[in-house]
Amino acid sequence: MKPNLTTPAWALALMAAITNASPILQLSPRTDNRDTVYAKNWAGLAINTTTDSPISALTGVIQVPKFFPPPTGDYTNISFVINLGTNGDCGSAASAGIDMAILKDGTATFAAWSHASYDGHGREPLAVNWMDDMRGSRFEIQAGDEITITLKTQGHRNVWLQWNNTRTSDNLQLKIKDYKTDLCLTYASWVTEQRPALTVGQDPGVFTTPDFGTVVIKGMEWGAEDGQVWKTGKRKGPAKENWFAIGEENEWGHYIDTGCGFFGKAEDVDDQGMKCTQEKASGR
């Protein structure tokens, strides 16, 4: 399946709607009272809406960080991802992201990819698409780039994905269609994720997490089927928000390997977005 690299009219209308949306009222800053969920392999922000406010679009801008190999010389990878439905357990799911990997020879690679599954937890995978392979040419990514990722649903069983590099003006598009079950349109997330199974040509059981320090994801917005566009972190809109952190919590307390938060640690923030930071980072 080859992506159509011509931007459709409805996609241009979506991006215009997000860009030109009416300003959202700002609330007074107060302490962040979002719940924190501890996970083994991802950290970021998740939203959970109701069936009365299904998600029709997601977008975010990833500022690609530098990253460094672990001292062991093992394979290493990390991804920065926008998910629709993943972990929501309410239907089929779609993901679009950037994968960063370092091979044993020290070669660093960056790649755009997408993943689709028939349920919200990644079981029964439909497809993993490496975009360079699909279009037959390199989508260049390097540290310091800003990559805008957009997901747009078309009905309940089709989704359109786009990656755009601000520095190069290059863009990729892909339509994933004909899911066997309806997409989960009530759950989405913007995350930093360990995805060893996606690293090409490597044993998915042998990997370590690279040192990337801090990554910034900004412009985190989602659209509803009624045409409304909502910004995360504004405490306005029909969605509950909660944090994911890579770590654990038990009777002895809690440990966080990678945690995320808004700039200024305020509940209602400006458009700088969120930053995800490793607690034990070295080599910078």
Q: Using one digit for the tens of pLDDT, what is the confidence trace for 46-91?
A: 999 887 788 999 999 999 998 776 665 556 778 899 999 887 678 8
Domain boundaries, the chain: 41-278
pLDDT in the model for residue 24: 33
Q: If 0-12 CB within 10 Å is exposed, 13-18 middle and 19+ buried, where does residue 154 land?
A: middle
How does pLDDT run along the chain (284 residues), one tens digit per residue?
444 444 555 455 544 444 443 333 333 334 567 888 888 888 999 999 887 788 999 999 999 998 776 665 556 778 899 999 887 678 888 999 998 877 666 677 888 988 888 655 555 566 778 888 888 899 999 999 999 999 999 988 899 999 999 999 999 999 988 888 889 999 999 999 876 544 444 454 455 667 888 999 999 999 987 788 888 877 667 888 899 998 887 777 777 888 998 876 555 555 578 999 987 644 43
* Bridge partners for 278 per DSSP: 258
Contact 187, 120 (CB under 8 A): yes
Report helix, strand or coil for 19. helix
CATH class of the region 41-278? mainly beta
| Strands annotated E in the chain | 35-39, 42-49, 55-63, 76-84, 93-102, 108-117, 125-130, 146-153, 159-165, 171-176, 187-193, 214-224, 229-231, 239-250, 253-262, 274-278
The radius of gyration of the chain's CA atoms, rounded to the nearest angstrom, is: 18
Contact 233, 246 (CB under 8 A): no
Report helix, strand or coil for 253. strand
Taking the model in full, what pTM does it have? 0.81
d(CA 227, CA 21): 10
